[in-house]
Structure 1
Amino acid sequence: MSFPKGFLDELKGRIRVSEVVGRKVKLTRRGREFVGLSPFSNEKSPSFTVNDDKQFYHCFSSGEHGDVIKFLEKTENLSFIEAVERLAAEAGMEMPERDAHAAQRDKEAATLIDVMEMAAQFFRQKLQEGVGAEARVYLERRGMRGKTIDDFGIGYAPGDDRGDRTSLLKYLKSKNVTLDQMAEAGLVIAGPDIAEPYDRFRNRVMFPIADARGRVIAFGGRALSADAKAKYLNSPETPLFHKGRVLYNLARARKPAHDEGTVIAVEGYMDVVGLAQGGIYNAVAPLGTALTEDQIQLLWRMAPEPILCFDGDKAGLRAAYRAVERVLPLLKPGHSLRFALLPEGKDPDDLVREEGGDAMREVLAKARPLSEMLWEKETSTGQWDTPERRAKLEADLEAAVAAIGDPKVRAHYAEALRERVSKFFGGGRQAASQGGYGRGRFQQRGFRTDRFGGGRSFKGRGGFPRGDSYMPPVTPELRRSALASGATGEQGREGLLLLTLLNHPELLENYAEDISRIALRTPALDRLRNEIIDIAALHAPLEREALKGHLLSRDLAEIARRLEAGSAFRSDPFAWPDASPEEAEAGFLHTLARHRRAIMLEAELKAAERALAEEMTEENYARFRAIQEQLERSDVADGLG
């Protein structure tokens, strides 16, 4: 149903979100927000927030986010129209006349999400039929119980190269799904060089892959035939599915990960399912590739120190070492990885099936920190009994430390590794003379050994000793200079992010949660962002022109017009309408990462300034200057960040 311009805005303006939510959730005011236990999950500590100013609620444990209308839909099983009618009655507003044509269009509109759900139902049905007998035997042999199969929506794709190759195609066609939609969803193989389109998945046990909201967006298929070309086959990249940005079981694992305080990343679907049968529900898996940067960020949203689980053989160690290399540039205060190595020849599914969930929990309890894995990676492959070999180890460790992007984390790693090397080579100054760190190469390369304890103190009545580098006072001018270095870039990035959303609102489908958490310092852009999220929650899927129409009805069109009329973003083609969805997504994510980095640096600079004001030491000044120089050097200082 379509409503007259301004109707929903007026309705929500008359109803406070906290009043409606407060009927179901005991809320406590915390600053400008209210907090309480999530109504969407059974949690022990509050992760549910309500903001009346921004007119939305957000649940960090389940990912649920929306306005007062959506809250009623979710908690009372109401349709959108029913929720609006109830709120209108409370607010004393008359419901407008229904637009029958618009309602019919909404009913007939089919999306790829609808198509994927139809396919998932088809696969589940086939597993229970006679054609799925072999698949059921396979699952029973792997110890899969009926409840587990139902919980994970596991199914079966019939057919093979010698028999019927179009079972799913025929089924979807009977549901009025077009061949173009099937191909776009990655369910059939079709094209100008394909004489007869056919099902992509045949004679495979099927694992539905869901997005963060629990909607099926892809499939993974495990071959039952021994001569299949690929044992595991994933959906191709589609408008819904980008395998490097998705984790299998993400939606289901979010709440258990919040409750347990950690999340476990294993190698494949069967490992996730096997752990669930052992009572371990906070597990996810990448989709046939090594962990990507995006997947690491997804893990960090679930827990600050995820556990990566690898086989204990040589291949497993190599995979663990690759993960070490991948994560070092991404490290930030409070966020890291831990590593659990399984007994050789075992994977999580095997261990749980043969020895039970407690055996797996013992392995997880012994998970090793990233710093230990880095040390093992660099020291386990050689003999370090000569000065030249020790110098090689130093160089490798220095290179690893230099890869860490965050200055605080980098400094602490430098100190920790210096101490390890000192002990490894015999300790103290003797180690330095023999080629160990001591006060040697870490100090020469800027990793000063007297900056993190154990060195000289620079406090005292006499200030800094003669001969040490001069440290000027932190004047108001110095402070303003440092904090101003990112201001223009910050506003430029904020505008660039919003302009990209205006021209490519399809990004909201996958990144609504990320967008809602962006720190925006420009009030007009903050308001525009909140309204866009609000509109998307009510009118998904959202198209560019429709979004502009909704903004016009909410008196926000002028802000959008100024963004589009400005010349500052002409050098960023991904933000404009003629960019492809892939270009827009890549540019948006890159800009978002830069913006987050800039906000983090500004916070670090303020913290360093406070520390320096409290304690005038060389260490504190060096940290302050290092952060300030990053702001001045990096793209934070230029016009668009």
Structure 2
Amino acid sequence: MALPSAFLDELRARTPLAALIGRKVRLARAGGRQWKGCCPFHQEKTPSFYVYEDHFHCFGCGAHGDAIAFLMRAEGASFPEAVERLAAEAGLEVPKPSAAAAEREREARDLHAVLAAAAAAFARRLRLPEGQPALDYLRRRGLSEETIARFGLGWSGAGRGALAADLRAEGIAPEQLVAAGLLKPREDEGGFADFFFHRVMFPIRDRRGRVIGFGGRLLGDGQPKYVNSPETALFRKRRALYGLDLAREAAFRGAAVVVVEGYMDVIALHQAGFAGAVAPLGTALTEEQLEELWRLTPEPVLCFDGDAAGARAAERAAMAALPLLAPERTLRIATLPAGEDPDTLLAKQGPQAFQAVLDAARPLAEALFTILAGRRLPEAPEQRAALRHRLVAAAGAIRDRALAAEYRRALLDRFFAAARRPAGAPRLRGAPAAPPPRLPRPPVDPPAVRRERARILLAITLRHPWLLAEVEEPLAALDLPQGAATRLRDAILACHAAASRAGAGALDSAGLMSQLASAGVADALAWALEGTGLPAAAMADAQPAEALDAWWHFFGYLRGEADLAEDRREAERALVETNDPAAQRRLIRLTEALAALRRGDGTSGRDGFAGDP
């Protein structure tokens, strides 16, 4: 019995295809979101086998498919065997066959067929005499015949019962059209009424290109101007994005994914060459839509109007996104000129004007400060304090602790920088700003800074020896200053190895320090713990995530950029070869440490770390 398509879609989404195929094929990155290697299905010396986010393709022999197809072809597994194996790795339970599940799947297939037939009927009606006003409207909006066909645009008809009459010959009953959201029962008169009437029709497709619903624009006077299909077994407005199927293909080719507000904005952008454009369906972005966007690209661009409504939309989107952010996925915010939307901007100034808007898109952290603070900091201390609380609360909404700390630091740094300029005292036109006073700075002693960083790293390890299960290998490879740091590090690793051999489990902090004192490194132990300036992460009551984040932070500075970059490449290779969760965690930590080092992030007391200049 066939498995539900929703389950199979979820299974494919949860399977990292590059990691799966990388167990059998040596893969190398070929662009931002794809890999390449020699095809496992035919002999070749020049790689022509490409792995994308959700499918593979060999340009030599034509092999093509998803994760299930790869296992079936590479290992000779049957379809049920491949599904069982992938489901076990993804933590999913394969649905048990049942008559009810089979009926639901059959109904879903039937609904897809009904909606496809309806889309074809609407497209045909657009070319009939009664559809001429709709076709004229689309042409006046600058759409080409190719664009109209690519998006499947149509006309609902102005006569009642038109759709049911069109589809009756194909064996589609009115009850099926009700289930598809195209008809609705009449409460008083009996029979059925068209849901879409006298409207230009916009088919809404899922990521696989299947029609799941429609949007309709009214021609002439009347409200509402736009309506969408009602919720059905296939159509969930919170999950759908208009233009998703076309944007998905464009994203694989490297196009920027841009979120705009309306159907016509999406269509005009695609026609102008911005093939990654999508739009929510008349509502603010939802968590489900953001997750769908991040499946396409790690950094989609949200494009808003440059008016008050656009500012409110940007704030809603930013607040919805904050809890979902992670080091590998974020947003950028682009703002259109006041009074313009993408469609009008393209019509007036051409694609180069919209490209300039995209080029000026700001990272979310930068845009978030403007969203919350406005164009000028408030003058009253109470208002500034309230703003500071809002900035801290916004950063605190991010679930990833390390990223939340980075956002908090970035937002507060901008707050303090803006506060140093007197509010209400704009610089006079043409008058140069007064230079800041040149205060003497103490000379930096690099060896002393390195010793202090090593001391902090070892203090964190001593207070939280459970970290050694993850950091034993990188700690052993670290080039620490000779003397107390190296003696203490070697003694810590020896104690950990002895506990592992004895099967004693993780050391606790008190037990580790007792063993170290007995091992003759009491002086090094005192050096690490009794000095001043240790961060909160080196205290016994620090949260585990805080301690782990701080450890990798100082590891990055001590390791150095070149070695850290090589560590990251090795971790990436290990993940592809093993698909091991521990390898994935290490890759994430090394990526964060390398990014922080390249940004030149220092530390300060308010971020919970100390000891960096």
Q: Distance in 2 between matches of 1:201 and 1:49?
A: 50
Alignment partner of 1:168 is 2:163:
yes
SS at match of 2:155: strand
Equivalent residues in 2 for 1:146-157 (5 A)? Answer: 146-157=145-156
599 and 397 in structure 1: CA distance in 2 versus 1, 3 angstrom threshold = farther
1:295 is aligned to 2:289: yes
Structure 2 counterparts to residues 153-552 of structure 1, below 5 A: 153-159=152-158, 164-190=159-185, 195-227=190-222, 229-380=223-374, 383-426=377-420, 459-460=451-452, 463=455, 471-472=462-463, 474=465
Q: Report the Cα offset of residue 262 of structure 1.
A: 2.5
Following superposition, the deviation at residue 243 of structure 1 comes to 1.2
Structure 2 residue aligned with 1:94: none
User: Counterpart of 2:137?
Assistant: 138
Compute the displacement of 1:388 (Å). Answer: 2.3
SS for the counterpart of 1:218 is: strand
User: Are 2:258 and 2:278, in contact at CA under 8 Å, matched by a contact in 1?
Assistant: yes
Map of 2:124 onto structure 1:
125
Please tell me the residue identity of whatever aligns with 2:371: K
CA distance in 2, matches of 1:52, 1:210: 34
Once the two structures are aligned, what percentage of the paired residues are identical?
Answer: 37
Aligned partner of 1:474: which letter? P
Distance 1:251 1:30 in 2: 27
d(CA) in 2 for partners of 1:147, 1:320: 33
2:541 is matched with: none
Equivalents in 2 of 1:59, 1:407: separation in Å? 32
Q: Distance in 2 between matches of 1:329 and 1:44?
A: 25
Q: Which moved more, 1:287-296 or 1:412-421?
A: 412-421
Q: Using the alignment, how far apart are the partners of 1:66 and 1:175 within structure 2?
A: 36
Q: In the TM superposition, what whole-angstrom CA distance separates every residue of 1:192-235 from its partner, at most 9, and x where no partner exists?
A: 666120221111111111111111111111111312x3111111
Distance 1:292 1:176, change over 3 A: same
Counterpart in 2 of 1:9?
none
Separation in 2, partners of 1:623, 1:390: 20
Secondary structure of 1:260's aligned partner: coil
Count the aligned residue pairs.
415
**Match of residue 559 from structure 2:** none
Q: Which letter does structure 2 place at the counterpart of 1:353?
A: A
Q: Secondary structure at the match of 2:253?
A: helix
The whole-number CA distance in structure 1 between the counterparts of 2:55 and 2:127 is 32
Further displaced range: 187-196 or 333-342: 187-196
Q: State the distance in 2 between where 1:49 and 1:114 align.
A: 38
Contact 1:244 1:292 in 2 (8 A): yes
| Cα distance in structure 1, aligned partners of 2:300 and 2:454 | 47
Write the letter of the residue equivalent to 2:310. Answer: G
Q: Structure 1's 389 and 146: CA in aligned 2 closer, same or farther, altered over 3 A?
A: same
C-alpha distance in structure 1 between counterparts of 2:356 and 2:454, whole Å: 55
Alpha-carbon separation, structure 1, partners of 2:150 and 2:110: 24
CA distance in 2, matches of 1:609, 1:267: 34
TM-score computed with the length of structure 1 as normaliser: 0.56
SS at match of 1:339: strand
Q: Deviations over 1:8-48 (max 9, x none)?
A: xxxxxxxxxxxxxxxxxxxxx9542366999xxxx998457
CA contact (8 A) 1:609 1:624 kept: no
The equivalent of 1:559 in structure 2 is none
Compared with structure 1, are the counterparts of its residues 177 and 49 closer, same or farther at alpha carbon in structure 2 (3 Å cutoff)? farther
The separation in 2 between residues aligned to 1:108 and 1:230, in whole angstroms, is 31
In structure 2, the partner of 1:592 is none
Given candidates 559, 581, 603, the residue that maps to 2:585 is 603
1:110-143 per-position Cα deviation (integer Å, ceiling 9, x unaligned)? 6111111100110110011111011011111111
Runs of 5+ unmatched residues, structure 1: 4-28, 88-105, 428-453, 487-519, 527-597, 626-641
**Deviates most, 192-201 or 358-367:** 192-201
Task: Single out whichever of 44-53 and 335-344 deviates more from structure 2.
Answer: 44-53
CA contact (8 A) 1:243 1:287 kept: yes
CA shift for structure 1 position 606: 8.5
Unaligned runs of 5+ in 2: 3-20, 42-48, 77-104, 422-445, 471-504, 508-543, 545-574
* Per-residue deviation, 1:392: 1.5
Determine the C-alpha separation between the residues in 1 that align with 2:592 and 2:65: 45
In structure 2, distance between residues paired with 1:142 and 1:610: 46
Name the SS of the counterpart of 1:226 in structure 2: coil
Aligned residue type for 1:202: F
* Counterparts in 2 of 1:172 and 1:323: CA distance versus 1, 3 Å: same
User: How many angstroms apart in 2 are the aligned matches of 1:255 and 1:66?
Assistant: 14
1:221-260, Cα deviation, whole Å (9 max, x unpaired): 1111312x31111111111111111111111111222323
The alpha carbon displacement at 1:334 in A equals: 2.7
Encode CA deviations 1:544-599: one digit per residue, 9 max, x unaligned.
xxxxxxxxxxxxxxxxxxxxxxxxxxxxxxxxxxxxxxxxxxxxxxxxxxxxxx97
Name the structure 1 match of 2:511: none
Q: Which of these two proteins has the greater Rg computed from alpha carbons?
A: 2
SS in 1 for 2:339: coil
What is the alpha-carbon distance in structure 1 between the residues aligned to residue 384 and residue 582 of structure 2? 36
What is the CA distance between 1:383 and its match in structure 2?
4.9
- Once residues 148 and 52 of structure 1 are traced to their aligned partners in structure 2, the CA distance between those partners, rounded to angstroms, is 39
Opposite residue 157 of structure 1, the aligned amino acid is S
Pair 1:604–1:398, CA change in 2 (3 A): farther
Given candidates 52, 59, 71, the residue that maps to 1:60 is 52
Task: Indicate conservation of the 8 Å contact 1:34/1:51, yes or no.
Answer: no
SS of alignment partner, residue 202 of structure 2: strand
Task: Tell me how far apart the structure 2 counterparts of residues 609 and 198 of structure 1 sit (CA, whole Å).
Answer: 57
Instruction: Report the 3-state secondary structure (helix = DSSP H, G, I; strand = E; otherwise coil) of the residue aligned with 2:216.
Output: strand
Q: Check whether the contact 2:333–2:363 (CA below 8 A) recurs between aligned residues.
A: yes
